Amino acid sequence: MSESSPIRLGYVGLGNIGGPMAGSLAAWTGGLTVFDLSSEAIAKVVEKGAAAAESLADLAASTDIIGICVLDDAQVRSVVAGPDGLLTTARPGTVITVHSTIAPETAVELAEQCAEHEVTLLDAPISGGAMGAASGRLAIMVGGPRAAYEKLKEPFALTADMLVHAGAEVGAGTRMKLARNLLHFISFTATTEAARLAEAAGIDITKLGKVVRHSDAVTGGAGAIMLRDTTAPVATDDPWYGILTGVRTLGEKDLTLALALGDELGVDLPLGQLALRNLAAGLGVPHLEGEPA
């Protein structure tokens, strides 16, 4: 990769997320080369200015930063280190970014294999889904050397409005993604619990959904409390203590009322019971001795 010539991008995997990502990257001044098993998927990105590679080896031989967005660990392994994979022709200095959500261990193993070829592999999972990819509003969480991360900033600004260096170790990006999605899908499950309670109470759950989306847009939803840099208990003289005890008080009151309604209607709310039990400690403001719970 020459400092005087523009970085050349490559992209492998042009599905629901990879296709729109590559479509945005096609505007990069250094050019984009793509590969996929679907000629139809390739054609859509070529229409936006990309070049098509005949093979993975062909792509790797002519690019400097290569994004991968395929189905699973096995496909990522095949693309990177398979008999006809990227490492067969990738030149020293090449950076490979894995956008698929894979096991952190897979990313570490592949990074070690890449290092033998003087190639840097970064795990760079994404958040925002197909909608974020289509609108250029993705968040990309990158694990690996800071110097390689810095090379991504300018080109990836075409497809993501948030690029985060999750850590200097490969695998850090994936670990951040897994924590993010733990919250995501627990909240989805909690949403189904709330819908069951509302339906049993005779409430129009589509109207409830409108209220939830409206208020979450104002308050920030669950992510609004993720502002501290530690999960340790909050000292009583910490400015956060008053804020989070207020959240605790309101949350415990409302959860208690919701659980009482569930009991009245015969609706089991296990996530609500767990939330009531764990909220105070989770916020870092457990009830003090003698303080009413």
CA angle (115, 28, 144) in 5-degree steps: 25
Residues taking part in catalysis: 177
Q: CA-CA distances (angstroms) from residue 161 to 126, 154, 156, 183, 197?
A: 11, 11, 8, 21, 37
Angle at which helices 205-219 and 172-200 cross, to 10°: 140
Residue with tokens 């296990």: 270
